[in-house]
């Protein structure tokens, strides 16, 4: 009997898979939007009767939601393993195997997507609104003209006092100029930040603070003022200020605002479908949702917090379809919205320089990318000066970042955390302070910086042999992991890792590269369920597993592109020369 696949059967299976995947994604986001607008927008539904009240009253605890993520991750990892066993080395994978893959991955997406986008906030918590983050990233840009980056907390204390919600005199807030904690009593009533308000704007600010205080409650409201302030870039601030000053602060309005990020991410998923195909999109969507670092309860339910992610996905998709000018423009937009995505331009830059050396001239596509990047960056820079105080916007932002980005915290993931682990597995374990760990890193800095630059150079060398899309993703992810210890929710970009690999791998190396990110997230969520300790999961589990994974990708890409055989031949030649000299 022939093993040649039947073209008609192939076409039918492809049609089934596309439709099933499309309706799964459409259904998922439709349910999320319906739940947010139909249930979460009405906080008093639990006092009524009927189906809507029953849904509004449904509660699960945080451990249950995390367990659901473990199940989704295990299902996705197992499905990829089974598919690899069925397809690698087989001339015609069985039709039932393909259907099993589609149904199982869609089931994982429904469970992970519902938990990520809704259950983590609307079921575990009472509301979908993340008031802690909205306070910073809705009021921060709305009143940026008066408060800049460093005036939000002082003005909040004064507004709360005038509105009858005074904090206790011995309560502390963060001084956003020095990052030290200071007593509320040190906030002067005639703060220069308050003096910059007009009477109408000051009343508006007080009304918004009253809403935030009512929504957060007294304990959370006080704790919010010990965070690290509003840190949006001046480019992000332009968009945030434009929108927040046109949308009033109310329960219904802010609930609807939380859907902007969800819809932007849905659009990003659509872009992946168009440019990479439905299989890649399905994997991308599942990995995005089960990402243990990017839990939606961190900054989900907030305001424009994933605009940079959508722009970065659009940039990668544009590269895939060889629209270099569009890719450069979207990369500049992502970098303007959150700075760090500029590292993703490094992959194209390396490829462009390698091509220029090889061809003795820069190919036109890389010129289009660079020109579009610079023009878009220039336009965004100009727009960023129209809100606030011109160039002082950037001075204020970089002064804030100078303090903010150097801190080791429990919410960060990065290469350097591999070197400061002291066995902290649970909150009850013996603890070493972050201050002590920062001193340890300073002592290691000379050789650690050398190691990081060496590894980054290896990544850059390997990227010269990759195509532009894979070089952009690999250099971007590896570069950020090596150079920066970013806050957990910025690692949403790890979903891009699935786009490094063929949607249907025919080699075990490709299959492992595709499968391992899902195994990493499953392991991290399992650790979170077992220990309940975010510090251990972020600093240790995620950092160590990502180090191992990126090392695997580096070695595999080096071997796949001929670097390791060349190194082997070079080593053999050196040995022969040494023996000849004896």
Query: CA Rg, the chain, in Å?
Result: 25
Q: What is the pLDDT of residue 582?
A: 46
Question: What are the tokens at 322?
Answer: 């060889």
**Global pTM exceeds 0.85:** yes
Number of helical (H) and strand (E) elements in the chain, helices listed first: 25, 4
CB-hemisphere CA count at 13 Å for 70?
Answer: 14
SS3 of residue 146 by DSSP: helix
CB within 8 Å of 101: residues ≥ 6 apart: 79, 82, 83
By CB atoms closer than 10 A (0-12, 13-18, 19+), residue 52 is middle
Element (H, E) at 487: strand 486-487
Q: Where are the beta strands (DSSP E) in 232-363?
A: none
Tokens 């005036």 belong to which residue?
Answer: 151
Q: At 398, which helix (H) or strand (E)?
A: helix 392-404
Q: Tell me the angle at which helices 234-244 and 364-384 cross, rounded to the nearest 10 degrees.
A: 60
Name the token pair of 520: 């990493």
In this structure, the strands spanning 412-413 and 172-174 are: unpaired
Nearest to 289 by CA among 109, 469, 130: 109
Helix, strand, or coil here: 378?
helix
Q: What pLDDT score was predicted for residue 459? A: 97
Helix/strand/coil for 412: strand
- Distance of alpha carbon 353 from alpha carbon 366, whole angstroms: 9
Q: Are 299 and 261 in contact (CB under 8 A)?
A: no
134-186 pLDDT, tens digit each: 999 999 999 999 999 999 999 999 999 999 888 887 889 999 888 899 998 88
* d(C-alpha 450, C-alpha 335), whole Å: 26
pLDDT at site 44: 64
CA–CA gap between residue 292 and residue 523 (Å, rounded): 9
DSSP helix/strand/coil, 182: strand
d(Cα 552, Cα 263) in Å, to the nearest integer?
A: 34
CA angle 39, 43, 44 (to 5 degrees): 105
Please choose, from the candidates 459, 412, 464, the residue with its C-alpha nearest in 3D space to the C-alpha of residue 434: 412
Q: Which two tokens stand for residue 242?
A: 């434009």
Q: What tokens appear for 452 in the block? A: 């990081």
Pair 390, 382: CB distance under 8 Å: no
Residue 503 corresponds to which tokens in the numbers above?
């949607």
What distance in Å separates the CA atoms of residue 346 and residue 329, rounded to the nearest whole number?
Answer: 14
pLDDT in the model for residue 18: 81
Kind plus residue range of the DSSP H or E element containing 413: strand 412-413
351 close to 322: Cβ distance less than 8 angstroms: no
Structure tokens that stand for 415 in this block: 């290469």
Q: Which of 261, 254, 237 is nearest to 131 (CA)?
A: 254
Q: State the Cα angle at 239 between 243 and 264, rounded to 5°.
A: 85
Cα 168 from Cα 41, distance rounded (Å): 32
542: DSSP letter:
I
Note the Cα 102 to chain centre separation in Å: 26
In 115-164, where does DSSP find H-type helix? 131-142, 144-147, 152-162
Distance in angstroms (rounded) separating the CA atoms of residues 527 and 532: 8
Closest CA to 515 of 290, 314, 296, 272: 290
SS3 call for 205: helix
Return the pLDDT at 233. Answer: 96
Report helix angle 259-276 to 278-290, nearest 10: 140
> Are residues 113 and 28 in contact, defined by beta-carbon separation less than 8 angstroms?
yes
Assess contact for 369 and 324: CB atoms under 8 A: yes
* Nearest alpha carbon to residue 439 among 424, 456, 425, 422: 422
Residues of the chain with pLDDT under 50: 1-2, 570-571, 575, 582
Of 85, 16, 108, 104, the residue nearest 505 (C-alpha): 85
What are 569's two structure tokens?
């031949």
Helix (H, G, I), strand (E, B) or coil at 249: coil
With contact defined as beta carbons under 8 Å apart, do 224 and 216 qualify?
yes
CA end-to-end span of the chain: 63
């Amino acid at each position: 009997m022939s093993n040649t696949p039947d073209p008609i059967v192939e076409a039918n299976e492809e049609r089934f898979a596309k439709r099933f995947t499309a309706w799964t994604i459409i259904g998922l986001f439709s349910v999320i939007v319906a739940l947010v607008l139909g249930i979460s927008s009405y906080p008093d539904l639990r006092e009524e009767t009927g189906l809507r009240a029953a849904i509004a009253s449904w509660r699960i605890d945080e451990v249950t939601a995390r367990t659901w993520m473990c199940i989704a991750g295990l299902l996705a990892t197992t499905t990829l393993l089974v598919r690899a066993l069925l397809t690698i080395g087989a001339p015609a994978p069985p039709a039932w195997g393909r259907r099993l893959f589609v149904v199982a991955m869609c089931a994982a997406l429904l469970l992970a997507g519902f938990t990520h986008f809704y259950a983590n906030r609307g079921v575990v918590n009472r509301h979908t609104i993340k008031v802690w983050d909205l306070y910073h990233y809705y009021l921060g840009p709305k009143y940026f003209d008066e408060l800049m980056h460093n005036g939000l907390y002082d003005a909040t204390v004064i507004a709360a006092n005038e509105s009858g919600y005074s904090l206790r005199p011995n309560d502390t807030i963060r001084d956003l100029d020095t990052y030290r904690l200071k007593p509320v009593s040190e906030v002067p009533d005639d703060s220069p930040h308050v003096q910059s308000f007009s009477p109408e704007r000051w009343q508006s600010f007080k009304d918004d603070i009253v809403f935030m205080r009512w929504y957060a409650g007294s304990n959370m409201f006080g704790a919010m003022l010990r965070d690290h302030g509003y840190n949006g870039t001046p480019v992000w601030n332009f968009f945030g200020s434009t929108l927040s000053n046109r949308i009033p602060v109310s329960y219904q309005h802010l609930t609807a605002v939380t859907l902007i990020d969800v819809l932007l991410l849905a659009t990003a998923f659509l872009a992946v479908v168009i440019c990479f195909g439905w299989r890649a999109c399905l994997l991308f969507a599942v990995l995005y949702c089960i990402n243990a670092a990017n839990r939606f309860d961190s900054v989900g339910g907030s305001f424009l917090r994933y605009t940079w992610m959508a722009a970065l996905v659009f940039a990668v998709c544009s590269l895939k379809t060889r629209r270099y000018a569009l890719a450069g423009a979207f990369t500049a937009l992502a970098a303007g919205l959150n700075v760090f995505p500029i590292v993703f331009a490094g992959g194209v830059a390396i490829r462009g320089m390698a091509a220029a050396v090889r061809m003795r001239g820069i190919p036109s596509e890389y010129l289009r990318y660079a020109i579009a990047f610079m023009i878009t960056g220039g336009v965004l820079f100009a727009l960023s000066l129209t809100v606030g105080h011109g160039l002082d916007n950037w001075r204020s932002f970089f002064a804030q970042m100078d303090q903010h980005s150097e801190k080791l915290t429990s919410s960060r993931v990065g290469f350097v955390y591999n070197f400061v682990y002291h066995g902290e597995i649970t909150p009850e374990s013996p603890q070493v302070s972050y201050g002590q760990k920062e001193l340890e890193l300073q002592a290691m800095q000379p050789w650690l910086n050398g190691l990081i630059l060496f590894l980054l150079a290896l990544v850059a060398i390997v990227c010269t042999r990759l195509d532009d899309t894979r070089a952009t993703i690999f250099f971007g992810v590896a570069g950020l992991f090596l150079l920066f210890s970013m806050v957990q929710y910025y690692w949403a970009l790890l979903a891009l890792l699935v786009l490094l690999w063929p949607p249907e791998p025919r080699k075990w190396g490709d299959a492992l590269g595709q499968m391992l990110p899902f195994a990493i997230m499953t392991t991290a969520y399992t650790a979170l369920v077992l220990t309940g300790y975010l510090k251990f999961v972020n600093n240790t589990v995620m950092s160590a597993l990502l180090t191992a994974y990126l090392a695997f990708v580096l070695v595999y890409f080096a071997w796949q592109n001929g670097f390791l055989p060349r190194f082997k031949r070079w080593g053999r030649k050196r040995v022969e020369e040494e023996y000849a000299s004896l």
